[in-house]
Amino acid sequence: MDGAERARLAGWLERPEIAALDPPRIAALAAALEADDPPATAGRNGVLIGYEPGPARRRLVEFDRRGHLLAVCRWAPDGELASASCLTDHGAWIGIEAGAATHPTLGPADRLWRLDGGDVPGSRRAELTIFQALDYRHPDAIPALYEPARLPPGAGTAVLNLIAGLMKDKGVARVRYRGPYPTEQLFTALLESFRYAGTVDDPLGRFMDGGALDWLPAPFERHVVGAGVTVHLRHGVDKVVLDDAAFYRERWQDVIRREPRLVREDGGRVVCSLVACGRTIEDRLVLDRAGEIAERPAAAIDAAPPAPLPAVWSPALAEIIARESAPALAGALREIVPRLALEWGPVPGDLVQVGDGRARLSRRLRDTVLAWVGEAAGPERAQRAIAFVVEVARLLAPAARLLAQSRLLELDPEAQAAALAAVEPERRDLPDSVGRLVALVLRGIA
């Protein structure tokens, strides 16, 4: 850590709201910054982390390069974690209460809370859910989370990243996920804060087959670079959250993420775009390679009123999402998706909006991709129509899977066990509902 980094950290620790978080330990950290080997580290992109002086390497505070507080840890005298707090990309503080609960399936559990707070975490506002308890003196597993749908946006990612950072602090090299529901959504979330170990032909398949995949802690650095703009960096820009919408780069190790919100490189720029079927619908933000804002275009305006999707969409989307999800979720997905009221309409700055039993899909997406389908002829046109239908399914899938997980957790233990043991038969043919929908799209109707 160089002198400028020490000076910045020392200045931030002097702020009254920071000093009040844990007065004796913060004061000891500030005094120790003058030592030859201060208890602090600097990330390659500017994050600064301060530790309690001493050999145990107990993390106290984490700041981004502008001095925004990102995480706080409080430790008991015996070295156990008493509590921790982390800031989500959406500005909410999430608290971890260690060893606070016991669950009949998960066993000992840590509790998550929604906290009050602005620049620093405040008092507990609402209990959220629990996850498998960790030994924070040597955290050696990725815990299973109960009721993930109860978390506010970005909370799961923030907590996983803090856990990955604590693992790295303690020199933990390899861990595995040790809970039920090893879903594709969890796999992609883990890619943000961990790296799967070795060269694996099908890492997602191995993970979903009982979680049998080793992970290396690789926490990202989070930086708040503007109002409503948070950037995740490791060796480059991994993810950008803009006005609550998350944009991701396409390649994560050997995994290609099929995302409708894409972080892409364009010469010396990093562009956040809304995309579908390889077509750019709208550019939403331009950054430099360090993750600083270069341009921030206003969201496009669609003044026309919403309109319902043809009825054939619901069963087709339910089938596609179920086939691309964990078998345990398939039954719930086929029940939940057809109940959603689907409509085309304005979704300012995004492509989909789900809530209150309704899913609104961007009409600009529909118009752009239907035009692309219409440009082709013969077999290629049919392939483009199928791609359009699958793209819409994948756009809706994350929200649908969260609803399905919540539905499963409402079942009694016997029914949950049956769902976990379910095996989806391998199907290569398109179901009739998808065939009817593709035929409609080929006629230029959606």
CA-to-CA distance for 248 and 232, rounded, in angstroms? 10
Nearest C-alpha neighbor of 133 from the set 160, 97, 165: 97
Task: Say whether both 139 and 206 belong to one domain.
Answer: yes
Contacts of 406-414 with CB under 8 Å at 24 or more apart are 406/147, 406/149, 406/150, 407/332, 407/335, 407/336, 408/181, 408/328, 408/329, 408/332, 409/146, 409/147, 413/104, 413/105
* Residue where one domain finishes, among candidates 176, 196, 221: 221
Task: Say whether both 231 and 216 belong to one domain.
Answer: no
Give residue-wise pLDDT tens across range 370-420: 999 999 999 999 999 999 999 999 999 989 998 888 888 787 777 777 776
Task: Say whether both 357 and 421 belong to one domain.
Answer: yes
Task: Say whether both 288 and 382 belong to one domain.
Answer: no
Angle between helix 313-323 and 432-442 (nearest 10): 120
**pLDDT band with cut points at 50, 70 and 90 for residue 328:** confident
Query: In total, how many domains does the chain have?
Result: 3
The continuous run of DSSP H or E covering 416 comes out as helix 413-420
Does residue 278 lie within any of the structural domains?
Answer: yes
Average pLDDT over residues 194-211: 89
Residue with tokens 């009721």: 147
pLDDT at 427: 65
Does residue 300 lie within any of the structural domains?
Answer: no
pLDDT at 426 over 90: no
Average pLDDT over residues 66-88: 96
CA-to-CA distance for 307 and 314, rounded, in angstroms? 15
Query: Apex CA 200: angle with CA 418 and CA 206, to 5°?
Result: 5
pLDDT at 424: 65
* Residue where one domain finishes, among candidates 295, 323, 343: 295
pLDDT at 420: 65
**By residue range, what is the domain housing residue 126?**
3-221
**pLDDT band with cut points at 50, 70 and 90 for residue 346:** very high
Task: Say whether both 23 and 134 belong to one domain.
Answer: yes
Strands 121-132 and 194-196: what pairing? unpaired
* Residue where one domain finishes, among candidates 187, 221, 255: 221
Least confident of 83-87, 185-189, 227-231, 283-287: 185-189
Does residue 301 lie within any of the structural domains?
Answer: no
Tokens coding 305 = 């009123």
Task: Say whether both 192 and 291 belong to one domain.
Answer: no
Does residue 302 lie within any of the structural domains?
Answer: no
Average pLDDT of the chain, as a whole number: 93
Task: Say whether both 277 and 141 belong to one domain.
Answer: no
Task: Say whether both 437 and 332 belong to one domain.
Answer: yes
**pLDDT band with cut points at 50, 70 and 90 for residue 184:** confident
Neighbours of 408 (CB within 10 A): 17
The SS3 assignment for 253 reads: coil
Percent of the chain with pLDDT strictly greater than 70: 98
Task: Say whether both 367 and 438 belong to one domain.
Answer: yes
Give residue-wise pLDDT tens across range 90-117: 999 999 999 999 988 788 999 999 999 9
Task: Say whether both 325 and 400 belong to one domain.
Answer: yes
Give residue-wise pLDDT tens across range 144-164: 998 888 899 999 999 999 999
Task: Say whether both 155 and 28 belong to one domain.
Answer: yes
Does residue 58 lie within any of the structural domains?
Answer: yes
pTM of the model: 0.87
Does residue 154 lie within any of the structural domains?
Answer: yes
pLDDT at 131: 95
What dihedral do alpha carbons 393, 395, 397, 403 form, nearest 10°?
A: -130
pLDDT at 180: 77
CA-to-CA distance for 35 and 29, rounded, in angstroms? 10
Task: Say whether both 283 and 311 belong to one domain.
Answer: no
pLDDT at 422 over 70: no
